[in-house]
Amino acid sequence: MTPDRVRQIIDAYGADAHRWPAGERSAAQELVRSEATLTAYLEQARALDSVLDLATTAQPSEALRRSILAERPAAHVQDASVGAGSVSGVSNWWRGLLDQLVPGVPGWQPVAGFAASLLVGVWLGAQGIVPVEDGASESFDTAAVSLVYGDAFGFGGWEDDG
């Protein structure tokens, strides 16, 4: 524990040692007792704490609270009358999710991108890029087994018996 660290603790947590980090509390207290400059620093912090304890926190008026809530964007306002099980409740949930994932983007754009990629995947699958014959060739079997067991990625796998 260094004097600078004790000052940091006092500045961050105040003069009350009960608020100091438990793992550093005893070492900091010991150093404060042994060094006069730290004892004086702690006394100044106690004086500041007593002044801060006198301060009160003003609660906002109801008019201020309503005006702040009225200024919120409409996308973040939840309608309490809509149940979670209703169609519009699900729709609002999806809109909220899309707004969090891609903020500022109209909801149809990510949905359209997903639908387009899905259609391309289905189209590629229907094109028969990998031909399958009745008596599948041995090279196709080798490629399939290699991919399944990871030989193509260097993890061992299929070995030729012959």
How high is the pLDDT of residue 70? 85
Taking residue 147's Cβ as centre, other Cβ atoms within 10 Å add up to 13
Percent of the chain with pLDDT over 90: 29
Position 114 scores a pLDDT of 84
Question: Is 52's pLDDT higher than 90?
Answer: no
- In terms of pLDDT, which residue wins out, 75 or 35? 35
Residue with more model confidence, 136 or 47 = 47
Q: Decide: residue 37, CB within 10 A, 0-12 exposed, 13-18 middle, 19+ buried.
A: exposed
| pLDDT exceeds cutoff 70 at 36 | yes
- For residues 37 and 3, the answer to whether their CB atoms sit within 8 Å is yes
Using the predicted structure, report yes or no on whether residue 95 has a pLDDT greater than 80.
no
Region 64-88: mean pLDDT is 65
Task: Please state, in angstroms and rounded to a whole number, the distance separating the CA atoms of residues 6 and 31.
Answer: 8
Half-sphere exposure (Cβ direction) of 77: Cα atoms closer than 13 Å: 9
